[in-house]
Structure 1
Amino acid sequence: MSDVKAESSVMGQIVALCKRRGFVYPASEIYGGIRGFWDYGPLGILLKNNIRDWWWRQMVLCPPIGPDGHPVDMVGLDSAIIQHPRTWEASGHVAGFNDPMVDDIGVSRYRADHMFGMFAAGADVPVATCVASSLGEAAEMIATDKKLQKLFGLRNVEVAERNEAGVTAVKASYKGQPFEGTILCLYPPAREGLFPTYPSPSTGEVGKLTDPRAFNLMLDTYPGPIRDEANKAYLRPETAQGIFLNFKNVVDTTRVKVPFGVAQVGKSFRNEVTPRNFIFRSREFEQMEMEWFCPPDDALMWYDFWKHERMKWWESLGVAKENLKFRDHDKDELSHYSKATVDIEYKYPFTAPDFGELEGIAHRGSYDLTQHQEHSKQKLDYFDQELQLRLKEQGIAPEEIKARSRYIPNVIEPASGLTRAVLVLLCEAYTVDAARPSGVYLKFKPKFAPIKAGIYPLVAKDGMPEVAEKLYLDLRNRFTCEYDPKQAIGKRYARMDEIGTPFCVTVDGDTLKDQTVTIRHRDTLQQERIGLDKVKDFLRDRVEE
């Protein structure tokens, strides 16, 4: 269990660093905070915007080269957070956007699929329960949380084995007797009425848990002066529907032709039962979504295309290949609209050695446009003139040409969380180095580091601040830099390590003599001397690549 403990400790250290250095703060902290909401501080917003801007550039401004050797056709959109309520009826969110919820009467409330139990061999009632987001996290909690072990009469818990089916073999002492068993997710239960027989994760008391029930994840609101059901609206749980509602607008007002994509970055809201794992799962978050509209016959080809393009994009952020993988959804976990879905998963500290969801690429078929066409009574089909001409050249019968050249496009949707991407880069960059004064540094790829360079006078006298500030004013027009003339230079370097700044430029006494400065490299701690007039080119070559 030492590896699991280490991974848990790393996540705690990352969260502490984010607060201490201004990446992420608890929202409304002076009032005790509000669960599931986070504020992005001065460095957090810079990191988030760097990721957002790179996604926008790679998806909209410089989209990928398609199978035909030419750039794919892509436009952007920024749709309203609040849409007409019937939007969510058509999309299925009102009726089907639910999580199973279990009440712990008088204590708390849990997502049923986040509840895990430790079972004796052959038993259907757990001897201990916990709330986690993965089997690995559940095993860690049961094996390391002394309060939890004391609550359930456990001692000397040892996780012996994990297999691909998601079952963990456990050895322990239970109420003084040797115990062997497994850890499993409690949901779905083997039969109705089991949850009331399970011990509470918080108190150990039996009979306080309710059976799971559906809990709608949409946050509602009431635009206008009247607060009644007729005026009820929702904060969007995803950005995708705003794209579908504007499909005809985009076709009619731009020069795009199927196949093409519409990309959007924006806030979404989900009333998560149990937000957890820092900013991994929160109630307010930002998404980066794209809907790719294509002919039905080409949908599988485009699904495979976008699957691999999105993996390449995550690698372009500096995420190691070994920390990323594809996971195809089984048929029983596909969304109601999906013909196929694959997740790109990342090995987070709180899921290790397992992986957790990072981005989903879904083949949505024609479900969304069909639903909105039926509910709005507006035509959302597409006349494919180029296909019509090709079919005529092939000598296809007029009836078949007519049927095939007008269709409702299929949709391929790569959808990822921008705020989850921030978490991934923080986890990926976090590097322990006991030899440094800071003890750790953030090894961001220079392109995405919040601050690209620190510009420092060695001391705040002898003309050094004036030279350093002049250099800073010249560089800031192109690079996000920081000028700081105070503190010992070692402390300034340590702070730059902790926030992931790749380079520090120091003006010293020799600068005034020979017009050279010292460049300190974050990753290697190497220091080199270059000309003052070469600094801009130095940063350009290393930050913009």
Structure 2
Amino acid sequence: MAQKTTGKEESRAADTKQMDNIVSLCKRRGFIFPSSEIYGGLASAWDYGPLGVELKNRIEAFWWKEMTRLRDDIVGIDAAIMMHPRVWEASGHVENFTDPLVDCKECKQRFRADQMPEENQKSGRCPNCGGELTAPRQFNLMFKTHLGPVEDDASQVYLRPETAQGIYVNFKNVVQTSRVKIPFGIAQVGKAFRNEIVTKNFIFRTCEFEQMEMQFFVHPSEDVKWFEYWKEQRMAYYAKLGIRPDRLRFKQHGPDELAHYAKDAFDIEFEFPFGWRELEGIHNRTNYDLSRHSEFSGKDLTYLDEVSRERYLPYIIETSAGLTRSVLMVLSDAYDEETVEAEGDVRTVLHLHPALAPVTVGVFPLVKKDGLAELAQEIERGLRDDFTTFYDQGGAIGRRYRRQDEIGTPYCITIDYQTKEDNTVTLRFRDSMEQVRIGVPELISRIRQEIRDYKRV
């Protein structure tokens, strides 16, 4: 008798299939490739193709605009990846940035002890083969390298495991040069590196990744108020990105989960195809970081309030989001396979917010002859200053629409024989597949308005 599958198993299978489809789409359409693929690839390393780098850059630009350009209380920096090794002693990373690891004595696989199923942790048996596990040992996640020609202890440095420390050690520089007043923030986007033993779920957990972090400096008496403020602001940000609200939630860290520097912490989690996972952390870091760097460097990092003449070490409210994780979130939320009843077909479509789409406008001549191709190319060139465009004259018009749907292009323009008569074109909308007739001179203003008014259906 065939074994009956449960609804939970069917859902899990469907989720696995969706993840496989997203990975396949990313490779097939040039979003993300395995790194060094011609040499067999490198575990946990991925390269962003022509569409992927456009998507990643647009997410970064969206975040940067929200955090800096639209505010007058946050400035930006770009700190070096390699920093003085004492930075990581002061921050606690040398001592505390570790994972507990166990090895199976039989199959030789390695696991994070704190992430194994509870029954395996209790029994000391391998979740893969049932063999005996070694005792847990701590493994530091920082990558070590050497600065200079001699490889000795004196030349040892680390690739930064987070971007935040570059903000803290520049706190005084920013205060003195930017004339900022507390409360204020410092934002940064950059690469970080963690020697993760367990890397999985495509680009979700990798050894090389990018962070979008903002550290907001406040008076110690106002930390709770600003912590709640930034929780609300960060959740509202994802709504602006067009992410469906039912796929986002807060998760508070329990007392045994808090980092050594944190007074309070929440994660914003997203429901990926492989389950709910952390997307962004919001932490009340108190004055831990500034006090430690002041102690280890011997420099005074206190802030002087010029009005009250009070001098103090500010508390820090941190918002730390993964840029690479955000790419996967956006793709997961946007990916859909829709039945088109009128055509008896299924279309793959990415419902990306138009501000994020790698291509904003696809431009097609209905046919290549009778001057339509030349006219379409002229219209496409006229749109380039305002939008990212893609010109395509190959194949049936329906197939060209489908290709653009699959990469998330929100608007397509078709030039036909009527265009030659009255200078109008067909403007097609990705989500609804609705088509309207519009004059060429109105295209730019109409598309701009559509982007501003976009709402995910």
Could you tell me which residue of structure 2 aligns to residue 369 of structure 1?
290
SS in 1 for 2:149: coil
Percent sequence identity over aligned pairs: 49
Could you tell me which residue of structure 2 aligns to residue 125 of structure 1?
none
Deviation (angstroms), 1:200: 5.1
Amino acid at match of 1:380: L
TM-score (norm 2): 0.94
In structure 2, relative to structure 1, the CA distance for the partners of 1:199 and 1:335 (3 Å cut) is: closer
> Could you tell me which of 422, 442, 446 is aligned with 2:327?
422
Deviation (angstroms), 1:358: 0.8
1:490 paired with 2:398, answer yes
1:15 paired with 2:16, answer no
SS in 2 for 1:386: coil
Q: Distance in 2 between matches of 1:17 and 1:358?
A: 22
1:314 paired with 2:238, answer yes
Residues 489-537 of structure 1 deviation map (CA, whole Å, 9 limit, x = unaligned): 2221111010010111011111112211111111111121111222112
Residues 67-90 of structure 1 deviation map (CA, whole Å, 9 limit, x = unaligned): xxxx5x111000000000110000
Could you tell me which residue of structure 2 aligns to residue 74 of structure 1?
74
Amino acid at match of 1:521: F
Are 2:97 and 2:140, in contact at CA under 8 Å, matched by a contact in 1? Answer: yes
- Name the larger-Rg structure: 1
Could you tell me which residue of structure 1 aligns to residue 114 of structure 2?
113
1:35 paired with 2:43, answer yes
Deviation (angstroms), 1:104: 2.8
> Could you tell me which of 40, 48, 60 is aligned with 2:56?
48
Could you tell me which residue of structure 2 aligns to residue 4 of structure 1?
12
1:239 paired with 2:247, answer no
Deviation (angstroms), 1:205: 4.8
Deviation (angstroms), 1:113: 2.6
RMSD of Structure 2 on Structure 1 (CA): 1.4
Are 1:91 and 1:371, in contact at CA under 8 Å, matched by a contact in 2? Answer: yes
Q: Where does 1:68-217 land on structure 2 (aligned, <5 Å)?
A: 71=72, 73-105=73-105, 107-116=108-117, 184=118, 186=120, 189-190=121-122, 194-195=123-124, 198-199=125-126, 201=128, 204-207=129-132, 209-217=133-141
Amino acid at match of 1:419: T
> Could you tell me which of 410, 415, 427 is aligned with 2:315?
410
Deviation (angstroms), 1:487: 2.5
Residues 209-228 of structure 1 deviation map (CA, whole Å, 9 limit, x = unaligned): 32221111111111110111
SS in 2 for 1:385: coil
SS in 2 for 1:226: coil
Q: Distance in 2 between matches of 1:287 and 1:199?
A: 34
Could you tell me which residue of structure 1 aligns to residue 253 of structure 2?
329
Are 1:361 and 1:413, in contact at CA under 8 Å, matched by a contact in 2? Answer: yes
Residues 88-123 of structure 1 deviation map (CA, whole Å, 9 limit, x = unaligned): 00000011101111223463322223322xxxxxxx
Amino acid at match of 2:102: V
Q: Distance in 2 between matches of 1:80 and 1:326?
A: 32
Could you tell me which residue of structure 2 aligns to residue 472 of structure 1?
380
Q: Distance in 2 between matches of 1:386 and 1:471?
A: 58
Structure 1: gaps of 5 or more residues: 64-70, 117-183, 389-404
Q: Distance in 2 between matches of 1:468 and 1:97?
A: 57
Could you tell me which residue of structure 2 aligns to residue 338 of structure 1?
262
Residues 147-180 of structure 1 deviation map (CA, whole Å, 9 limit, x = unaligned): xxxxxxxxxxxxxxxxxxxxxxxxxxxxxxxxxx
Are 1:382 and 1:406, in contact at CA under 8 Å, matched by a contact in 2? Answer: yes
Amino acid at match of 1:292: F
Residues 433-462 of structure 1 deviation map (CA, whole Å, 9 limit, x = unaligned): 133756310001111111111011111111
Could you tell me which residue of structure 1 aligns to residue 189 of structure 2?
265
Are 1:452 and 1:543, in contact at CA under 8 Å, matched by a contact in 2? Answer: no
TM-score (norm 1): 0.79
In structure 2, relative to structure 1, the CA distance for the partners of 1:258 and 1:327 (3 Å cut) is: same
SS in 1 for 2:191: strand
> Could you tell me which of 324, 336, 341 is aligned with 1:431?
336
1:278 paired with 2:223, answer no
Could you tell me which residue of structure 2 aligns to residue 357 of structure 1?
278
| Count of residues in Structure 1 that have an aligned counterpart in Structure 2 | 441
Following TM superposition, the consecutive aligned residue runs of length 4 or more in structure 1 with deviations greater than 6 angstroms are none
